Amino acid sequence: MNPSTQKPSIEELEKIAVEVRTNIIQMIHRANAGHPGGSLSAADIVTALYFRVMNVDPKNPDWPDRDRFILSKGHACPVWYAALAEKGFFDKSHLNTLRKLNSILQGHADMVKTPGVDMTVGSLGQGLSAGLGMALSGKLQKKDYRVWVVIGDGETQEGSIWEAAMAASTWKVDNLTVILDNNGIQNDTFTDDIQIRGDLAAKWRAFGWNVIEIDGHNMQQIVEALETAPTIKGVPTIIIAATVKGKGVSFMENVPAWHGKAPNAEQTQIALAEIRG
């Protein structure tokens, strides 16, 4: 039975995404540390997953038939925490404790500490392999759950991503969906300055995947892609989402310096005003 019986509209999802972005800025400012850029770029995608698409139950985080979610780009965990809190997995007061000693919300998500987290993340490039294992387990157990993995474009420079991609298509793991947060920036520079991304869609198709390309900030396109993916049988699906690092905050958008820097008090007020618009 699916506990998520009510599906919010596109407009309602957009309002939730505003709250998620607000939480991201506030918690990183309070912690004086964190990664706002990649959290903001994934906010619309993560919102759609948790509030419209995934079968999860905040009152029963370990429900065996739940969908699994992995944020492979683990440094962007503020977006994960913000969504989990809005969904009701834990009280929102915990957002005030980001990165503090003994907090359930550390700088990278911990499946032992944080309700709703299915994989401890941090080592880039590993999330897809873990997601593939979860999806294969579901197949073997004849379960209906799906596995959703968000990866960053910088992660596609990791060989482990392509090993998992090749294995997933070989084994026809169609209960696995990857969403690529293609924001063009990694760490402190533009992704193509490190390695040229090239035609990512062609690369994933060459590895045997069904590919959907979208605007990662257009909620209608996001929802349509996420709801289409489960209908594709016999191959895994990747949704390549064109996104903007720091989306929603003008002085952060497409600026590499905001990959891993906390806003000061004045910047926080400006950012919140722009997000709430």
Provide the pLDDT for residue 5. Answer: 63
Superfamily of domain 10-276: Thiamin diphosphate (ThDP)-binding fold, Pyr/PP domains (3.40.50.970)
Return d(Cα 229, Cα 251) in angstroms, integer: 34
Identify any residues that bridge with 49 across adjacent strands, giving them in sequence order. Answer: none
Provide the pLDDT for residue 152. Answer: 97
Report the percentage of the chain scoring pLDDT > 90.
96
Helix (H, G, I), strand (E, B) or coil at 16: helix
Average pLDDT over residues 123-131: 94
Domain boundaries, the chain: 10-276
Cβ atoms of 143 and 130 closer than 8 Å = no
Provide the pLDDT for residue 181. Answer: 98
Angstrom CA distances, 271 to 20, 28, 174, 245, stand at 13, 12, 39, 14
Q: What is the rounded average pLDDT for all residues in the chain?
A: 96
Average pLDDT over residues 211-239: 98
Return d(Cα 24, Cα 247) in angstroms, integer: 12
- Confidence check: pLDDT of 72 > 70: yes
Provide the pLDDT for residue 188. Answer: 86
What does the chain come to in residues?
A: 277
Helix (H, G, I), strand (E, B) or coil at 4: coil
Angstrom CA distances, 65 to 129, 134, 137, 170, 263, stand at 20, 12, 12, 25, 39
Closest CA to 274 of 242, 243, 252: 252
69-96 burial string, b = 16+ CB within 10 Å, else e? bbbbbbbbbbbbbbbbbbbebbeeebbe
Average pLDDT over residues 12-28: 98
- The answer for residues whose C-beta is within 8 angstroms of residue 180's C-beta and 6 or more apart is 150, 151, 152, 153, 156, 200, 238, 239, 240, 241
Return d(Cα 54, Cα 59) in angstroms, integer: 15
